[in-house]
Amino acid sequence: MEYNILIGGPAGSGMNTIANLIKVGLKRHGYSVYVNQEIMSRIRGGHNFFQIRFSNKEVFNFKEELDVIIAFDKLTIETHQNRLVPNGVILCDSSSEIRNNNIKYMLVNAKEIITKLKNPKALNIAILGSFVKLFDLDFEFFKKVVIKNLKNKNIELNLETFDLGYKSVGSLLKVTNKTVDNNIIISGNASIAFGAIAAGMSFYSAYPMTPATSVMTYLNKKQSDIGIIVEQAEDEISAIFMAMGASYSGLRAMTGSSGGGLSLMVEGIGLAAIAETPLVIVDVQRPGPATGMATKTSQSDLSFLLSASQDEFPRMIISIKDQEDAFYQTVRAFDMSDKYQIVVIILNDEFLADASKTIAKFDLKSININRYLATEEEINLDEKYKRYKFTETGVSPRILPGTSNIPIVFDSHEHDEYGNVVEDGLNRTKMHSKRLRKLDFIKKEMIEPEYLGLEEPEYVFVGFGSTYGAIKEAVSILNKEGYSVGFLQFGDVYPLPEKNIIKYSKYKLINVELNATGQLARLIKMETGISFDYSILKFDGRQISTNEIIKDFKEIL
Amino acid sequence: MNDSYKLFNTDVNISWCPGCGDFAILLAIKEALFELGLKPNNTLIVSGIGQAAKTPQYIKANNFNSLHGRALPPTIGMKVANNDLNIFVTSGDGDTYGEGGNHFIHNIRRNPNIVHLVYNNRVYGLTKGQGSPTTDLGQTTTMQLNGSYLTPLNPITLAMTLGAGFIGRAYSGDKRNLIDLIKKAFEYNGYALIDVLQPCPSFNKINTASWYKKNTYNLEKNYDPKDFYEAYKTSLNVIDHIALGLLYYKETTPYLDRLPHYEGSLVNRKWKPTDAIKLLDDFI
């Protein structure tokens, strides 16, 4: 059993609420649920939609074919009706104009209900009632969901609205009952925020920028419960410098933005590098350049971040593939950042930032927090403390200001082992090499891309980040259809893990990316010399679907 | 050595020009630190980039030599992390009022408990003499060959209108008054700004030591720094009758006290990953 629902309408019509209630209700019923949204950058009007796919088997991506459209306006019907499967249903208010007689409509007298009950803003609640009836879902169960999620907002009136909506239609679709539910449902950005919290991050500074803002807003809501500080900075430059001040003084600190904000943060990335101060940065990508498209998705910041800030220094870039990965990779980002005293960038994108998926509860017991600070013995090896001591790994003993009798230096200038500013050429060569040496050791800890699909494939898709679900599903469909396909999914992208890509380079390689120039393929070529045979590139600001990958693949053949 | 300001001495070679006002300010800071009973390990000197911003390198203490214009933002993270660190920011007029102008504004709104010394020589020193935000209208520099055509910024009145609660002006040539002002600024609970006028013998041929002698005066004993309008009026003259001393004072709520749930330095925060379990309910 699997259904795919679209809820569409103008901004401000309560779709967020109904989408959330359906999401939570289905999830608590025990279904695997995947929710994504496509919204316009405006507060009222326009056309926004949510897609909710649910099944009693795991769903890990959105889907194009729709079983049900819940339409809040005519535009939704016009825009999406051609995506309906043959028996698909449009659920809408009975006042809607019906133009296409080949489509099944489920009409709710929602407007009548809310007028009668004098509950004018509850069109979404009436429609929710009819949705529950449409699928013959558990009425009492959803009632509880409404009570819990709407808190005290007019609850009696809303329950009556919900009830009348439920009674106003019949059942058309069948679901298999599920009751077991030990999962959570979470979006990519919330999962990053949760990972940061679990990892002991205690300071987050940022400037609002879509689609990264939700990391900040979640942390902000939780800050008093968990005793952390979230500061809204005056700009992204300030945001990264505040976080750096916190990190220097001993906190796990993070900042985040989208590409435009990252552009402003660039000088801070360089400062963290020369001062060898740990810092985690989240980049939630959207199409650019400049303002680009605020609420759309993209995988186009990779090339920029590989060398953001002048000169050369070690850094690490992790792309996250799904909502579960977002949590564990954020935890790992803090660990690697502390271990190597480097900037770690977590690459997310608008699609995954806002898309929710049911996943297993986070294994909090598996997390160890290690700050990798130097012990007194290590410090005492030298007559005078060397904050930037030349070592085999390039990692020098770090202690925190105010925790001993030793004052701690932090300088943006090139410096000697003690941190004193020097312009001596030999020292410069040694210090620059020391920093870069870390990269060799970081590289040994990089996670090789995951391989899925046939063992001896003809073609191998190569991707990174949030296209994981779409490519995975496409590979499975294509192999069932008799094609011979494999899939290499990069998580760690820099420093680039090379073993698996070298291993699979004997097959025909196809990079699947949401940018126009194949930034991942270019990175792989630069690092390994391996060239790609074909590319599937999409850069219209929308997430690539399974169908699009299949279609593009067949065109390649 | 530990019983004098020399406990803050370093063996680093100082790279300021001979005759630079910065030497006097450096010494005044070290003496003030000593007189305040501070120690290198609980003192943190923060700066951006510029001649003034070299100061942290010349003081034995925790230091944070940031980038140009970016001295103030890190202090917010530092305060949250460890409120026991006594923070002094030492940066120039270009660093603070030019490149870091936006941070200067919003830092006053946040009001962290720090002392900020702006070495104001009204010219860019490190980059060889270009006009700064405080260079006088019409003054020629190595860049403004026909005289500066930008209206100079008045840091004192700007800080006042933004709501700063401790605003002083000092002159680098008057060490005792500078030390006393630094000490008062340190005792202030909130952001304390001291605009330190100083000659730049290499690049500012107008605002010389003798010019300052002629055009500055110490505020009289009966001057009331709590009178906003009087202070504002007094601060407007930056041409030929420039007031030195504590220009404006009011009590304010410092940054950390504005955070409703802040309970103390977060470096001491106890946290286990399993503590996050209570938040999982949000996603069930």
pLDDT digits (tens, 9 = 90+) for A321-362: 999 999 999 999 999 999 999 999 999 999 999 999 999 999
In chain A, residues with a C-beta closer than 8 Å to the C-beta of B77 are 203, 205, 241-249, 251, 253
| Separation in Å, CA of A100 to nearest CA in chain B | 39
Q: What is the pLDDT of residue A178?
A: 67
Least confident residue range of A15-19, A49-53, A96-100: A96-100
| Separation in Å, CA of A397 to nearest CA in chain B | 16
Q: Is the pLDDT of residue B219 over 90?
A: yes
| Number of Cβ atoms within 10 Å of the Cβ of A17 | 18
Q: Search chain A and give the residue with CA nearest B58.
A: A420
Whole-angstrom distance, CA of residue A8 vs CA of residue A18: 11
CB contact under 8 A, B78 and A249: yes
> Measured at the alpha carbon of residue A63, what is the angle toward residues A58 and A69, in degrees to the nearest 5?
110
Three-state secondary-structure class, residue A282? strand
Parallel/antiparallel/unpaired status of strands B166-171 and A183-187: unpaired
Q: Is the pLDDT of residue B212 over 80?
A: yes
In chain B, residues with a C-beta closer than 8 Å to the C-beta of A227 are 261, 263, 266, 269, 271
Whole-angstrom distance, CA of residue A358 vs CA of residue B159: 51
Q: Sorting pLDDT into bands at 50, 70 and 90, what band is A311?
A: very high
Q: Sorting pLDDT into bands at 50, 70 and 90, what band is B1?
A: low
> Measured at the alpha carbon of residue B220, what is the angle toward residues B215 and B226, in degrees to the nearest 5?
110
Least confident residue range of A249-253, A378-382, A447-451, B89-93: A378-382
Rg (CA), chain A: 26
Average pLDDT over residues B140-168: 97
CB contact under 8 A, A367 and B269: no
- Record the tokens describing residue B43, joined without a space: 């003192």
Cβ-in-10-Å burial (0-12, 13-18, 19+) of A516 comes to exposed
Average pLDDT over residues A163-185: 85
Which among B44, B75, B276 is the nearest to A364, CB-wise? Answer: B276
Whole-angstrom distance, CA of residue A514 vs CA of residue A465: 10
Interface of B with A in 192-221 (CB under 8 A): none
B284 touches chain A (CB under 8 A): yes
| Number of Cβ atoms within 10 Å of the Cβ of A211 | 25
> Measured at the alpha carbon of residue A398, what is the angle toward residues A395 and A402, in degrees to the nearest 5?
170
The residue behind tokens 């339409």 is: A71
CB contact under 8 A, B267 and A250: yes
| C-beta separation of A181 from A146 below 8 A | no
Alpha-carbon distances, residue B229 vs A124, B14, B163, B236 (angstroms): 57, 42, 13, 11
Question: What are the phi and psi torsion angles at A486 (to 5°)?
Answer: -125, 180
Residue (of B148, B110, B71, B122) closest to B254 by Cα position:
B110
- Write out the DSSP string of B120-186: E-SB-TTTTS-B-TTSPTT---SS-TT---SPPP-HHHHHHHHT-SEEEEEETT-HHHHHHHHHHHH
Q: What is the pLDDT of residue A182?
A: 78
Q: What residues does B52 pair with on adjacent strands?
A: none
In chain A, residues with a C-beta closer than 8 Å to the C-beta of B65 are 410-413, 421
Q: Sorting pLDDT into bands at 50, 70 and 90, what band is A179?
A: low
The runs of H, that is alpha helices, within A341-369 are 350-354
Residue (of B72, B151, B79, B66) closest to B104 by Cα position:
B72
In chain B, residues with a C-beta closer than 8 Å to the C-beta of A268 are 67, 70
Q: What residues does A459 pair with on adjacent strands?
A: A485, A508
Pick the residue of A35, A180, A229 with the most B CBs within 10 A to test the interface with B by mutation. A229
Q: Is the pLDDT of residue A180 over 70?
A: no
In chain A, residues with a C-beta closer than 8 Å to the C-beta of B87 are none
Residue (of A114, A71, A78, A118) closest to A93 by Cα position:
A71
Q: What is the pLDDT of residue A400?
A: 97
Q: What is the pLDDT of residue A414?
A: 98
| C-beta separation of A544 from A62 below 8 A | no
- Record the tokens describing residue A408, joined without a space: 């701690």
Whole-angstrom distance, CA of residue B255 vs CA of residue B258: 5
Q: What residues does B168 pair with on adjacent strands?
A: B194, B246
The residue behind tokens 């552009």 is: A263
| Number of Cβ atoms within 10 Å of the Cβ of B4 | 11
A202 touches chain B (CB under 8 A): yes
CB contact under 8 A, B261 and A249: no
Sheet containing A534-537, strands listed edge to edge, beginning at the edge strand earlier in sequence: A450-453, A485-490, A459-464, A508-513, A534-537
Local structure of residue B98 (DSSP, 8 states): I
* Cα within 13 Å of Cα(A557), Cβ side: 11
pLDDT in tens, A108-140: 999 999 999 999 999 999 999 999 999 999 899
Cβ-in-10-Å burial (0-12, 13-18, 19+) of A336 comes to buried
Q: What residues does A93 pair with on adjacent strands?
A: A108
The length of chain A in residues reads 557
Whole-angstrom distance, CA of residue A491 vs CA of residue A495: 11
pLDDT in tens, A399-414: 999 999 999 999 999 9
Whole-angstrom distance, CA of residue A332 vs CA of residue A339: 10
pLDDT in tens, A23-74: 999 998 889 999 999 888 777 778 999 999 999 999 999 999 999 999 999 9
Whole-angstrom distance, CA of residue A112 vs CA of residue A521: 56
Three-state secondary-structure class, residue B239? coil
End-to-end CA distance of chain A: 33
Three-state secondary-structure class, residue A108? strand
| Separation in Å, CA of A405 to nearest CA in chain B | 5
Least confident residue range of A35-39, A152-156, A398-402, A529-533: A152-156
Alpha-carbon distances, residue B108 vs A492, B64, B114, B158, B265 (angstroms): 41, 20, 11, 10, 21
| C-beta separation of B94 from B104 below 8 A | no
**Residue with more model confidence, A12 or B185:** B185
The residue behind tokens 């003496």 is: B31
B267 touches chain A (CB under 8 A): yes
In chain A, residues with a C-beta closer than 8 Å to the C-beta of B84 are 402
CB contact under 8 A, B62 and A234: no
Q: List all residues 6 or more positions away from B124 whose beta carbon is below 8 Å from its beta carbon.
A: B50, B94, B130, B131, B132, B203
Residue (of A277, A222, A283) closest to A252 by Cα position:
A277
Q: What residues does A336 pair with on adjacent strands?
A: none
Q: Is the pLDDT of residue A152 over 80?
A: no
| C-beta separation of B8 from B182 below 8 A | no
Which among B44, B102, B261 is the nearest to A234, CB-wise? Answer: B102
In chain A, residues with a C-beta closer than 8 Å to the C-beta of B275 are 226
Q: What residues does A452 pair with on adjacent strands?
A: A487
- Record the tokens describing residue A77, joined without a space: 């019907």
In chain A, residues with a C-beta closer than 8 Å to the C-beta of B43 are 407
Q: Search chain A and give the residue with CA nearest B61.
A: A407
Q: Is the pLDDT of residue A546 over 80?
A: yes
Q: List all residues 6 or more positions away from B201 whose beta carbon is below 8 Å from its beta carbon.
A: B17, B18, B19, B20, B208
The length of chain B in residues reads 284
Mean pLDDT of chain B: 96
Local structure of residue B97 (DSSP, 8 states): I
A26 touches chain B (CB under 8 A): no
Q: List all residues 6 or more positions away from A507 whose beta carbon is below 8 Å from its beta carbon.
A: A457, A458, A459, A460, A486
Whole-angstrom distance, CA of residue B213 vs CA of residue B208: 9
| C-beta separation of A417 from A388 below 8 A | yes
The residue behind tokens 């391996």 is: A530
Residue (of A207, A343, A336, A397) closest to A284 by Cα position:
A207
* Cα within 13 Å of Cα(B78), Cβ side: 31
A402 touches chain B (CB under 8 A): yes
Interface of B with A in 4-63 (CB under 8 A): 12, 40-44, 49, 56-57, 60-63
Cβ-in-10-Å burial (0-12, 13-18, 19+) of A304 comes to middle
